[in-house]
Amino acid sequence: MADIVEAKGLVKRYGKVVALDGLDLTVPQGTVLGLLGPNGAGKTTLVSILATLLQPDEGTANVAGFDVCNDPEEVRKRIGLSGQFAAVDEHLTGFENLDMVGRLYRKGRKASRDRARELLEVFDLAEAGDRTAKTYSGGMRRRLDLAGALVAEPPVLFLDEPTSGLDPRSRTGLWGVIRDLVARGTTLLLTTQYLEEADQLADDVVVIDHGHAIAHGTPAELKTSVGGERIEVTVRETGDLPSAQTILTGFASGEISIDEQRGTLIAPIAGGVPTLTKALHEFEASKIDLFDVGLRRPTLDDVFLTLTGHVAEEAVSEEADGQKSEEMAG
Amino acid sequence: MNSLAVAFADTTVIAKRNLIKIKRVPEILVFVLLSPIMFVLLFAFVFGNAIDIRGLNYREFLIAGVFTQTVMFGATFTAAGLAEDMQKGIISRFRALPMSRAAVLAGRTVSDIAYNLLSLVIMALTGLAVGWTIRTSFGEAIAGFALLLLFSYAISWVMASIGLAVPSVEVVNNAVFMVLFPLTFLANTFVPSNDLPGGLREFAEWSPVSTVTQAVRELFGNVPANAPEPPSWALDHAILYTLIWIAVIIAIFAPLSVRQYKRLQRA
């Protein structure tokens, strides 16, 4: 498949801070690329360059066949952008927001209105469509912002941390919407701080840190590289450790590590909750008294720890990423 | 569509969006409308008795000055509105759309004329209530108001440039106050410029703030009957000189702020 997004050697500096440090990236048409990294890693800067909002200091980027620096107008006709920071006008209603965007895409009056109503329906905002966006919850604003990015049905979509700051229910809902879009052939570049989100949505993942790509692979490959999911069991009596180990050996997909002092066993497994349930039945049958038990999935921190040897730290806030994440937190 | 038609269509969409805000947040209007009323009343009743304009009632002299000051401060809305849109990320959305690069700014400056028109109407009514009179024809009076709006429109483009350059709405208000306050007082707005000390006097005689005020006084017929010959060419040709300033300000600041918009470094 042809690459619909292609970036080569992108460099962007803000004063002394290097936000992007020679980043290369490709997204084949019709696929989803997850860009995973902590705050300040350069994710927003990259998306901004691809969406023609910023000019790179060095390097080139092509989106949908056009150079972002030389033909920004052509690029803009073919992309949709939704930021981590919902860019909706709170004094306009949901409908007015979308209609305005439609008119700015040169849709006629009727086509623009019809599209606005259609999108409100799709994003479950039909009832709230004639209320001002000021009255919307965080999740509703995000959906409206995403709807705004889809007004012109762009072939390429950039979503910058679409779910950060959302509660789990809104997050799951938004994932469903994004999956539908992708199923209809949209190419998506998605930035996220959550490994789980990349796992849910992306075909490929690029991990970035301090403006560099430090790893590239499918979510499964990444998870394998950091050890995948595991069961953590703490027994009440350390005397039970050997028999507990025997039970876990039956489920483990790799070496079991033992912390004798805490009475904790960590076993890499496959199969998630069903495997955990089976293991718990055996513990019960063997009358082993457990103090604590849990299923752990690798997080961004684990990925970083494995890839870089350090945990994902908040980088010295680069202008774009830093400002926005602070406001999100506020 | 050619690019001019596109720019015009997009500007209309943005201006409409800005005007909806007036409808949705009418509280903003309270301040837009109260401050000119306050200025008219304060100057008329506090300074009115102390300042003596030979051959004319001070209140009649004063109104044109308050008009000028108010439309200049009214233009601040352009800077504040743009700074707010940037803070909220809406500008980023617009910049990623295939729309005219001038439309967000043009739409803002155009919609801010509405604020100024509204405050002019309120001020004119307040002025009439405290003894201001228009002594010329209807057509000349309309020309006076039109000149004020054109002047504020030009200032709006300066404000657009400021709004795109500063980091937040709060900074806009402080920055603008520092510049506009001295400008509106170092002129013939509240006292005749020939009463000012040397240096300041020359500045005031050539300041476009003075000439727009002088032009408006002429168009409303509020120039003292026995006033001395205007001391500068600028004041003698107040309307022409003001129009030249308006053209020059727009010719410089419209392209400058569009350039700033294109090159914004904030994502």
Rounded CA separation B150/B208 (Å): 13
Is the confidence at residue B254, as pLDDT, over 70? Answer: yes
Rounded CA separation B62/B43 (Å): 8
CB contact under 8 A, B21 and A91: yes
Query: Using the 8-state DSSP alphabet, how is residue B190 labeled?
Result: S
pLDDT score, position B266 = 63
Is the confidence at residue B27, as pLDDT, over 90? Answer: no
Rounded CA separation B106/B19 (Å): 13
Of A258 and B140, more confident: B140
Mean pLDDT by groups of 10 residues along chain A of 330 residues: 90 92 94 90 93 95 96 95 84 96 95 96 93 93 92 94 84 88 92 86 92 88 76 86 87 84 86 86 87 81 71 47 37
Most A-contacting residue of B1, B18, B93, B260 (CB-CB within 10 A), to test interface: B93
Share the mean pLDDT of chain B: 90
Rounded CA separation A15/A9 (Å): 19
pLDDT score, position B225 = 73
DSSP per-residue codes, B67-103: HHHHHHHHTHHHHHHHHHHHHTTHHHHHHTSSS-TTH
Burial (CB count <10 Å: 0-12, 13-18, 19+), residue B139: exposed
Chain B residue at shortest CA distance from A157: B96
Rounded CA separation B18/A36 (Å): 37
pLDDT score, position A284 = 87
Do A45 and A321 meet the contact criterion of CB atoms below 8 Å apart? Answer: yes
CB contact under 8 A, B13 and A48: no
Instruction: Tell me, letter by letter, the H, E, C secondary structure of A69-92.
Output: CCCHHHHHCCEEEECCCCCCCCCC
Instruction: Kindly indicate whether the ipTM for this predicted assembly is greater than 0.90, answering yes or no.
Output: no
Chain A residue at shortest CA distance from B1: A106
Q: Which residues contact B34 (CB under 8 A, 6 or more apart)?
A: none
Amino acid in position B52 = D
Neighbouring-strand partners of residue A187: A156
Neighbouring-strand partners of residue A3: A28
Give φ, ψ of A6 to 5 degrees.
Answer: -145, 120
Rounded CA separation B36/A3 (Å): 60
Interface residues on B facing A, Cβ-Cβ cutoff 8 A: 1, 6, 9-10, 13, 17, 20-21, 24-25, 88-90, 92-99, 103, 263-267
Of A24-38, A301-315, B151-165, B180-194, minimum mean pLDDT range: A301-315
pTM: 0.83
Is the confidence at residue B138, as pLDDT, over 50? Answer: yes
∠ CA(A75), CA(A76), CA(A82), 5° rounding? 120
Rounded CA separation B109/B158 (Å): 10
In angstroms, the separation between the Cα of residue B118 and the nearest Cα of chain A is: 20
pLDDT score, position B149 = 97
**Domain ranges across chain B:** 3-266
Do A197 and A164 meet the contact criterion of CB atoms below 8 Å apart? Answer: no
Q: Which spans in chain A are helix H? A: 43-50, 72-76, 94-104, 109-122, 138-149, 168-183, 195-201, 219-225, 241-249, 272-285, 300-308, 319-329
